Each structure stands twice: as structure tokens, then as C-alpha cells.
Amino acid sequence: MLTQIAGALRRFNRLAAYLSGGVIIAASAILVWQVAVRYWLKWPTDWEIELCVMLLIISTFMSAAHTQAERGHVAIDMLDTMLSPRVNRWRLLLADTLTFAFCAFVAWNAWEFFHEAWADGKTSPSLWGPKLWIPYFFVAFGMTTLTLELALQAARHKEAA
Amino acid sequence: PTALAQTTLKLSHQFPAASTPDGDFRDRLAKQFAAEVEKRTNGQIKIVVYPGNSLMKTNTQFGAIRKGILDMTVLPLAYGGGEVPEVNLTLMPALITSYEQGLRWRTSPVGQQLEKLLEDKGIKVLTWVWQAGGIASSDKPMVAPDDVKGTKFRGGSREMDVMLKTAGAAITNVPSNEIYSGMQSRVLDAALTSSTSHISYRLFETSKSFTTGRDHSFWYMFEPLLISNDVFKKLTPEQQKVMVEVGLSLEKFAMEEAKKDDERAAEVFAKAGVKVVDMDEASFRKWQALAQQTAWKDFAERVKDGQRWMDMATSVK
Amino acid sequence: MDILTLSLLFAAATFIALFSGMPIAFAVGGVALVFMICFMPLAALSLVTETIYAELDNFTLLTIPLFVLMGAAIGKSRAGEDLYASLNRWLYRVPGGLGVANTMACSVFSAMCGSSPATCSAIGSSGIPQMRSRGYSEGLATGLIAAGGTLGILIPPSLTLILYGLATEQSIGKLFMAGVGPGLLLTVMFAAYVMWKYTREKRAARSSADASGDSSHALLQEEHYSWAERFESLPRFAPFLAVIAIVMIALYGGWATPSEVAGIGAFFSLLMVMAIYRCYRWADLRVILNGTVKESCMIMMIIGMSFLYTWVMSNLNITQEAAQWLVTLPIGKWGFFTAVCVLLLVLGFFLPPVAIILMVTPIILPALNAHGFDLIWFGVIMTIMLEAGLVTPPVGLNIFVINGIAPDIPLKAIMKGVMPFIVLMMLAVVLLTVVPGIAMWLPDHYQGS
Ligand code: NA
Ligand code: NA
């Protein structure tokens, strides 16, 4: 059961990561568009940068879990070779637990952050003025999937220890 | 804690630290306030000033002071426009016509309603500060609405953008730290900001003409000294009295310094070889007519009780 | 608790968290959170996500994922290999030629972007595997890119110099010009070191080959290319030159701001790789996408969380008190200068350059003025000191970026490899102090125009 859930989560995170990559490409295309229409057509460009900022923040958070699954969040591994394997197992279990605790807190706080923006109908103060709950939602969602991924990794470590 | 215990308050703002007597006056305002309060409370209240975003990011300050996480700030109030749309009134094109008129808001219904609204949101105003602004242009001077037609213009706020867009400007949004290089490379043709920011962003190095904010300006911004209500309520009545009095006493200082900066901006740009022009009465009237049809209307329709706010504001002579 | 105890506690907690094996991003975030709980009003906890978001909500910073995409498109396709193979035909006679080429590439890339991790990532993703496959030691290949990447904040355009200019009310144009000379100086110093080190590594490989009879080391593979073979490789440079040309025209021709250039570079690099190297199948694209998101997410998470860390440190007033204390020391002009450099180096162990500039500059500025330092010159010195911070443990963003690109190389090897470059940076600071003209010649001569 647990392995099935873990598998489903991994597949979902991988999909989210590929989409995040697509979002980064989209942001680059929007910038090319902005530069082109501003230079040749003298069009106003009042929403492009703000949209790109949102897209790039969304892509960062939505790919966090997949990055963690592939151990892409760099850690200092110098003690790995200096301590005994037994001590290392416990050290890594502790590290994973602390990481989980921190991310769980941020995830919870991010949902609050999202909820506040949603309830107050907060918008960006610019002329374009998009609703802010949209990017905030992806921050909270991304932190949540990251936290779940960390929980699964910690559980696996515990089995190993 | 006892009332006599020392309280340390943190004051954060986004402006550069003033290292010389003619440095950024908003930082000097904060420091003078801190020194005077410390003196008059015999050291009971100590205020630490964090300039230049060194404590908190510009955009976080409004929310943080509401929640009592940040104690004090000097803040362009319109930055809170996404959270409290009413505050867009304080950066409304051609609504304020002079510093004196702006300060009369404080004792008029519009100012009192504004202070009450802010208090409901957890913020107390200590010093009323208005600041005029001008337009730096990398080509010909921007004086009347016709001049901005077809230019890549950075208005910097919602209501200014609404008006400039109707005037035919191509609103171009670049981050504030890229105004300088944007003007230099002509990605931007013109930028609108306060006289002080024109100086501190060093736009005189990359522009050809400058429309000053002295005499006539359609750009007046409210950037008061604020304290969090939560924090204020925790002070003793005597301490509160000192804070209010010191705040009030600095109003004149702020106005004079803002006026000086309008002159200083003109000098600095002229010295850098930039063509400096003032806005004439007729051009200002044109801007005001345009603002009425665009930004004022936008505000009246979009914001709750918007028309009432506009009526109160326009009734201040 | 007094400020010294608090600072030591903060530093100790940082070391423990980082060496525990927690991912860097969450280790610095966790330390910040614990200190918030212990020493700040509880209400501050509700601002954690907002602080991270507000700091990331900055377009200049968000160019990093775009530059990473640019690097990945070239590095994860055949394009990078092809480019280096062609370069190698021209440079194989020069000892350490490929390393020198990489140093130059870092310099050129720095002239396009104001970000150090972006430079590291874009050049390193093809540069490191290519140098490794030609026998360069792990330390030399990674140290060179990590250090070369730091030039991003010295060679204009530079985000840190802009912030310094705003904080000190100095001309940003002049600061940029002052960064050019020292940027070139460091490039030459780095390149010279690479040639020297390469020669030593090759000699060591030869003597061990003589001893063991096994001469299979990549450094000892003799190559020869005729002029015909060299010229044959020339067309292969064309697509890269085209992308660089598009970027340079956009940047210097008034089409785009430095940040927008990131998008243009990424878009056209990807387009080039798809059109010329035929990487349009999902199998090719997924490798590029996966590499891009993993690395950019890692970097952006570290940056976001380190803002939380910075916020807490600023709130506890540690940095400001340290700077304040320094200003009051009766140690004279050059004593003060040395002390400031040491402070910048120590702060650089923990904090990113931007944070240090924002916190330290306002406090030391009056003293700098009083001692009569040229603020343009000092901006360059400060930037070089902060560059060192990008490659020093425990928090050294460039080191982590390299670790992300080359996960098989242990962090220890990277840190060891980068040490000589830190020494070179310090040497550059000394040189600039003795001969300020290296920085000041250009701004002084262009003052009129
Ligand atoms: Na640069
Ligand atoms: Na460091």
C-alpha cells in the first residue's frame, strides 16, 4: 500500500517537474515576445515581467518534490566518509526528520499565506493586477508534495536504520 | 513587563542610508524621530533604524506592520494597494496640487477617514509626509500629455499607469533596479518617480531631459512614518503622547526637505548636462482633466466607496 | 544574552545543521526558524512564507532558471561536446588550453549576466564534463568553474555593484567601468594558474605512468590536428556565435534589459539545439527539462531559504553590531580597511553578497568617508571579497551549484580545488590596494564623456 502511494506520488511529482520545465521555457518565450513587440511595434509591455516572475516562482516550488526524490537538493556529505556507517545512518535519519519538520512547517504556513490572500481577495498593485492566491496556491501545493516526499524518504531511512 | 522597562523598536525602510547631512531625507526623518523619542522618554524607548531594505523587503513591510511583526516604517502607502485598495488614493495623479494642500488632508475628513481606515487595519500614522516627483526622459522633455504619446514609459503605480496609457504611452514595466540601465539602453524612454529617488537612482546619468516636480507636478505620493497599532497600544499613555508629538513636530521638516529635494533634483540634473524644464499651469490642467477621466474614474468604480473618497479628497482646497 | 554569545550560537547552529547532512536550503531555513522561535516574537512565524516569497518576487533573481535552461540546453545535448571538440582542435597545443578557454567563457558570460550561480551553471554544465574527460583533476575542473563563475558579480553588468551604488550614492556607470579592469586581471590570474596547475598535473601523470608502465591517463593522450582539420571545425562555432550575437545585440543595442537577456539567451539556445542538433524528440527534451528544473529548483530554494536566514540574522542585529563595533575600533585607516575585509570574508562564509551589501554598507559608509577611501574603488574591493564568499564553506552558493552539475565529485574535492582561487582573489585585493589604477583607470578616463 505504502509503496503504491509512494509510486503514485513520485509519478505525479515527475510530471509536475516536467511541466515546471515547460513553464521555464514558456517564460523565456514570453520574454522574447516582450522584447520583440516593444522594439518593433512599440506595444505596451505591462504584464509580461510580472507573469514571468510568477511562472518562475511556481516552477521552482512545483519541482521541489521531484528534485528531492532525485536527491537534487545538495547537502554537505563530508561526514559520510569520516563516521562509521552506524553513526551515519542515525545522523541521516535525524537530518531527514529535521528537514521534514522544517518543510512541514513551511507548507502549513504557506497554506495560511494562500488562504489569507484568497479570503481578502488580494491582488498585485500593478495595472494588470492579477489575483495573488494563484501563485501562492502553487507555493503551498509544492511545499506540501515536498513534505510528503520527505516523509516517505524518512520512513525508508528508518526501515534501513 | 513594567512600563519603565526599556523598549526597543525596529524601524525599517527602503531608502538609502543618509551618511551626509544632505543624504536621503526619509532616512534622516527616521533617525531624527528615533533620537528625539529616545531623548524625551529618557531612553525608555530606543528605535533602531534599518535603512535600504536591510531588515525587510519593501513589499513585505505593509503586511508586517499590520500584523505587528514590524514595529515602524517609512513607507509609500500606495504599496499596500493590493491589500487595501483605498490607499491608491494617496498616489493619485493630479489630485494633490501642493505640499500645503496635501498636509491639509490631515485635518480634513479625507485624512481623518484615511487614518481611521488604517487604524482598523492595524496601522497608525505618526508623521504625514508628501513628496512630489518628476519625469526623467531619455529624449525630449515630457511636459504635456501629448509628449508621452508613443514613448516607453514606466509609471510605477496602477493609477499613474491608467492615466499614462490613455495618454498614449506604451507602459513598460521594468524592475526599479533596472530603470537606470533601461534608460541607458533606451529600453525605457521615460520614468516617473519622486525627486529624491531620481537623485538616488542616479537617473541624471542616463537621461536627456528632466521635468521637475517643483511648482506643478501631477505626481504627489504619500509616504508617512507609520507605527504598528499593536506596538503603539503596548506603550504607556505618556510614551504614546511623546510618539504622537514627535511625529507631528517632524511634519514641517519633512515638507521642507521634500521641497529642497525638488530643487536639488533640478540642480543635479542641470549640472549633469540634462535639459531641465518645469511643468506649466496649462499642462498641469491638461493632466488633471485626463486624470479625472481615467485614474479618478477607475478608482471611483473599482474601490468600495471610491466616489465618496474622491469627493472628500477633491473638497480639500 | 549578549550579542557575541548569540553570534557564536548562530554560527555553531549553522555548522551543525549543514554538516548533519540536511539539504543546504532546508538547513539554513531550519536554523532561521529555530532562532525565530527562540529569540523573536512568535507572530514573526506567520511571516515565513511571505518573506521567502517577497524575496523571490524579484525578476533579476529569477533570471537564474533561465540561464540554467540555457546551460542545460547546451550541456545536456551534443552541442556542448561539439563546441569543446572544436575548441580543442585549436587549443590542444596550449598547456591547459581547455581550462583557459573555460576561464574566458566565464568572463564572457559574466559580461552578459549579473549573477554568479548562473555563470557557473551555464559554463559548468558542459565545461566540467569536457575537462574531466580530457584528464583534468576533479579539483581543478570544478574549482576553476566555481571561481570563474564569481566573476559574474564583478564584470558588468553586476547586481551587487548596482546595489552598492544605490547604497553609497555612487555612479553605477563608473562602478561598472571600475569592475572591468579587475575582472580582466582576475581572469588572467585564473588562466595563468590553470596553465601552471595543468602542467604540474601532466608531469605527475607522466612520472606515475613511467613508474607503472600504464600510460592510459587522459592527460597523456597525444593528439594532433592539422590546419585543415582545424578549419573544418570552424562552421561548428557558427550556431554558438549566432546565439552570442543575438544576445549581445539585444543587450547593447537597446532592445532588452540585462534580465530580459536571460530569456533571449535561453530561448535561442534551446531553439539552436533543437534545430541544429535535432533535439526535438521527447527523449532528448526530457533530459534537458529534468536537468533544468532540478538544478534551478535547488539554487532557487537555497536562495529563498537563505533570505529567511538573512532576515533572522538582521533581526537579531548580529551583522550590524559587528560592523558597528568595527567602526569604533581605533586602528587607523589601513587597520580599518583590513578589518573590514576580514569582516566581509567572515560574513561571506554564511551570507550571500546582496545581503552583506545591504546590511554592512550603511554602517561602514561614514567611516569609509572619514578615512577618505574612494568609494568606487572600495566597491570593487568589496565585490571581490564577496566573490570569495560565494566559494567558501559552509554556505557557498557556487560550490553547491557545481555539486549539482557534477554530483559524482565529492564536495570536499570542490572545496579543495577552489582554495587556490580564493588565494588569487585575496592577491588581487592586495594588488588593487597597491595599484588602484587597475580599477580606476577606466572610470577616471571616461569621466568627461
Ligand atoms: Na556580470
Ligand atoms: Na560562503
- Average pLDDT (C430-443) is 93
Q: pLDDT per residue over C153-167, tens digit each?
A: 898 878 788 888 878
- Average pLDDT (C363-380) is 91
Pairing of β B45-50 and β B7-13: parallel
Q: With CA atoms as reference, report the closest residue to B236 among B23, B75, B2, B3.
A: B3
- C365–B17 CB contact, under 8 Å: yes
Percent of chain C residues topping a pLDDT of 70 = 99
Q: What is the pTM of this model?
A: 0.89
Report ipTM for this prediction. 0.89
- Average pLDDT (C127-136) is 90
Q: What does C7-47 look like in DSSP terms, one character per residue? A: HHHHHHHHHHHHHTT-BHHHHHHHHHHHHHHHHS-GGGGGG
Task: Give me the pLDDT at residue C447, please.
Answer: 57
Q: Tell me how close the Cα of C233 comes to any Cα of chain A, in angstroms.
A: 30
Q: What is the DSSP letter of C395?
A: S
Radius of gyration of chain B (CA): 19
Q: What is the DSSP letter of C300?
A: H
Q: pLDDT per residue over B122-147, tens digit each?
A: 999 999 999 999 999 999 999 999 99
Task: Give me the pLDDT at residue B122, please.
Answer: 95
- C362–B16 CB contact, under 8 Å: yes
Positive or negative CA dihedral for A8, A14, A15, A16?
Answer: positive
Give the distance (Å) from ligand 2 centre to CA of residue C350.
5
Residue C448 has pLDDT above 70, yes or no: no
Q: pLDDT per residue over C288-317, tens digit each?
A: 999 999 989 998 999 899 889 988 988 888
- Average pLDDT (C123-131) is 90
Give the distance (Å) from ligand 2 centre to CA of residue C363.
21
User: Residue C48, exposed/middle/buried by CB under 10 A (0-12, 13-18, 19+)?
Assistant: buried
User: Is residue C317 within 8 angstroms of chain B, CB to CB?
Assistant: yes
- Average pLDDT (C345-368) is 87
Closest-CA residue of B relative to C309 is B55
Return the C-alpha cell found at C122.
551555464
Domain regions of chain A by residue span: 2-160
Contact B175, C59 (CB under 8 A): yes
Q: pLDDT per residue over B34-77, tens digit each?
A: 999 999 999 999 999 999 888 888 888 998 999 888 999 999 99
Q: What does B149-169 look like in DSSP terms, one character per residue? A: TT-EEE--SHHHHHHHHHTT-
Residue B200 has pLDDT above 90, yes or no: no
Return the C-alpha cell found at A30.
514570453
User: Is residue C208 within 8 angstroms of chain B, CB to CB?
Assistant: no
Chosen from A14, A20, A23, A28 to mutate, greatest number of chain C CBs within 10 A: A28
Q: Tell me how close the Cα of A160 comes to any Cα of chain C, in angstroms.
A: 17
Q: Where are the alpha helices (DSSP H) in B167-280?
A: 179-184, 195-200, 229-234, 237-249, 251-271
Task: Give me the pLDDT at residue C449, please.
Answer: 40
Task: Give me the pLDDT at residue A4, please.
Answer: 86
Residues of B in contact with C54 (CB under 8 A): 57, 59-60
Q: Which amino acid is at C156?
A: P
Give the distance (Å) from ligand 2 centre to CA of residue C22.
17
Distances (CA, A) of B119 to B123, B181, B232, B309: 5, 40, 11, 17
SS3 state at B136: strand
- C41–B69 CB contact, under 8 Å: yes
Q: pLDDT per residue over B288-317, tens digit each?
A: 999 999 999 999 999 999 999 999 999 998
Q: Which amino acid is at C64?
A: I
Q: How far apart are CA C399 and CA C348, in angstroms?
A: 13
Pairing of β B190-194 and β B275-277: unpaired
Residues of A in contact with C58 (CB under 8 A): 53
Task: Give me the pLDDT at residue C2, please.
Answer: 83
Task: Give me the pLDDT at residue B1, please.
Answer: 41
Pairing of β B130-137 and β B190-194: antiparallel
Q: Which amino acid is at C285?
A: L
Digit-by-digit pLDDT tens for chain A (161 residues) are 778 888 999 999 999 999 999 999 999 999 999 999 988 888 888 899 999 999 999 999 999 999 999 988 888 877 877 888 888 888 888 999 999 999 999 999 999 999 999 998 899 888 888 999 999 999 999 999 999 999 988 887 777 66
Q: How far apart are CA C236 and CA C329, in angstroms?
A: 59
Task: Give me the pLDDT at residue B4, please.
Answer: 52
Question: Which of B270-279, C370-379, C392-401 shows the lowest per-residue confidence on average (mean pLDDT)?
Answer: C392-401
Task: Give me the pLDDT at residue B3, please.
Answer: 46
Q: pLDDT per residue over C248-281, tens digit each?
A: 888 888 888 878 888 999 999 999 999 988 888 9
Q: At what angle do helices C397-405 and C116-133 cross, to 10 degrees?
A: 40
Ligand nearest the Cα atom of residue C176: 1
**Residue A67: count of CB within 10 angstroms of its CB:** 28
User: Is residue C52 within 8 angstroms of chain A, CB to CB?
Assistant: yes
Q: How far apart are CA B249 and CA B258, in angstroms?
A: 15
Q: pLDDT per residue over C84-121, tens digit each?
A: 888 888 888 888 989 999 999 898 888 877 788 888 98
User: Is residue B170 within 8 angstroms of chain A, CB to CB?
Assistant: yes
Q: How far apart are CA A2 and CA C33, in angstroms?
A: 31
Q: With CA atoms as reference, report the closest residue to C267 among B95, B32, A28.
A: A28
Q: How far apart are CA B208 and CA B122, in angstroms?
A: 44
- Mean residue pLDDT of chain C comes to 89
